[in-house]
A and B are shown apart, each in its own frame.
Chain A
Amino acid sequence: MNGSRGNSGAAAMFAAAVLFLFACAALAADGIPRKAASCIICHGAGGNSTDPAMPSLAGQPAQFISTQLYLFREGNRKDAQMTPIASGLSNADMNELAAYFSSQKPAAPSRKTAPENAAAGRRLAEQHHCVQCHGPALLGLQHIPRLAGQQFAYLKTQLRGFKAGIRYDTDGNMTSAVQRLSEADIEVLADYLAGLK
Chain B
Amino acid sequence: MFHPDFKTRKPGTGAALFAATLFALATPGAHAQQQPSAQPAQPAAAPKPQAEQKPPPPSWQQGRTPEQASSTLHPFAIHVTGKAAKELPVDKLKVPAGFKVEVWAEGIPAARSLALGDKGTVFVGTRQAKDVYAVVDRGGKREVKTILKGLDTPNGVVFSKGTLYVAERHRITRYDGIEDKLDSPPEAKVVIDGLDPSKQPGHFWKFLALGPDGKLYFNIGAPGNIVMPNYMQGSIMRVDPVKGVLENVVLGVRNSVGFDWHPKTKELWFTNHGRDWLGDDSPNDTLHRVAKTGVHFGYPFCHQGDTLDPEYGKNRSCSEFTPPALKLGAHVAPIGMRFYTGKMFPAEYRDNIFIALRGSWNRTVKQGYNVTRVSFDKGKPKMEPFLRGFLQDPKADPPMWGRPADVLVMRDGSLLVSDDHNGIIYRVSYGKK
Q: Chain A: residues with CB nearer than 8 A to chain B?
A: 63, 66-67, 69-70, 74, 91-92, 94-95, 98, 116-117, 119-120, 123-124, 126-127, 129, 131-133, 135-136, 141-143, 170-173, 175-176, 179-180, 182-185, 187-188
Contact = CB atoms under 8 A, between A and B. Distances in A.
B38 A135 contact: no
Given A141-B397, A183-B33, A184-B34, A133 B74 contact: yes
B79 interface: yes
Given A175-B55, A176-B58, A184 B130 contact: no
Nearest to B23: A120
A2 B72 CA distance: 31
Contact of B11 (A67, A126, A185): A126
11 contacts: A95-B82, A117-B27, A119-B19, A120-B23, A131-B6, A131-B8, A171-B60, A171-B201, A179-B54, A187-B27, A188-B20
B31 interface: yes
B20 A124 contact: yes
B12 A127 contact: yes
Interface of B: 6-12, 16-17, 19-20, 23-27, 29-31, 33-35, 38, 50, 53-61, 69-72, 74-77, 79-84, 107, 109, 130, 201, 397-398
Contacts of A141: 397
B398 A142 contact: yes
Contact of A70 (B17, B80, B84): B80
B59 A172 contact: yes
Contacts of B10: 126
Contact of A131 (B9, B69, B397): B9
B71 A132 contact: yes
A180 B201 CA distance: 21
Contacts of A74: 130
A76 B172 CA distance: 23
A91 B79 CA distance: 10
B29 A187 contact: yes
A131 B26 CA distance: 24
Given A142-B398, A182-B34, A183-B33, A120 B71 contact: no
B30 to A, nearest CB: 5
Contacts of B33: 183
A136 B58 contact: no
Contacts of A66: 79-81
A92 to B, nearest CB: 8
A129 B60 CA distance: 15
A173 B109 contact: no
B8 A127 contact: no
A120 B19 contact: yes
Contact of B34 (A120, A183, A188): A183
Given A66-B80, A123-B19, A172-B58, A184 B12 contact: no
Contact of A182 (B16, B38, B61): B38
Contact of A95 (B38, B61, B83): B83
B50 A135 contact: no
B70 A132 contact: yes
What are the 4 A-B residue pairs with the smallest beta carbon separation, nearest first?
A: A120-B23, A143-B77, A91-B81, A184-B24
Contact of B81 (A95, A173, A182, A185): A95
Nearest to B423: A91
B56 A188 contact: no
A150 to B, nearest CB: 18
A135 to B, nearest CB: 7
Nearest to B397: A141
Contacts of B16: 123, 127
Given A70-B81, A91-B82, A180 B54 contact: yes
Contact of A170 (B54, B77, B81, B130): B77
B34 A126 contact: no
A141 B76 CA distance: 11
B58 to A, nearest CB: 4
Given A95-B84, A127-B11, A176-B54, 16 more contacts: A116-B26, A123-B12, A132-B74, A135-B6, A136-B8, A136-B9, A142-B76, A172-B58, A175-B55, A176-B56, A179-B54, A179-B55, A183-B33, A184-B38, A185-B24, A187-B29
Contacts of A184: 24-25, 27, 30, 34, 38
A187 B20 contact: no
A173 B59 CA distance: 9
B53 A180 contact: yes
Given A126-B11, A131-B9, A143-B77, A176 B57 contact: yes
Nearest to A123: B20
B86 to A, nearest CB: 12
A72 B77 CA distance: 17
A131 B12 CA distance: 12
B55 A132 contact: no
Contacts of B24: 120, 124, 182, 184-185, 188
A63 B34 CA distance: 35
Contacts of B11: 126-127, 129
Contacts of B35: 182-183
A163 to B, nearest CB: 10
Nearest to B70: A132
Contacts of B6: 131-132, 135-136
Contacts of B20: 120, 123-124, 127, 188
A96 to B, nearest CB: 10
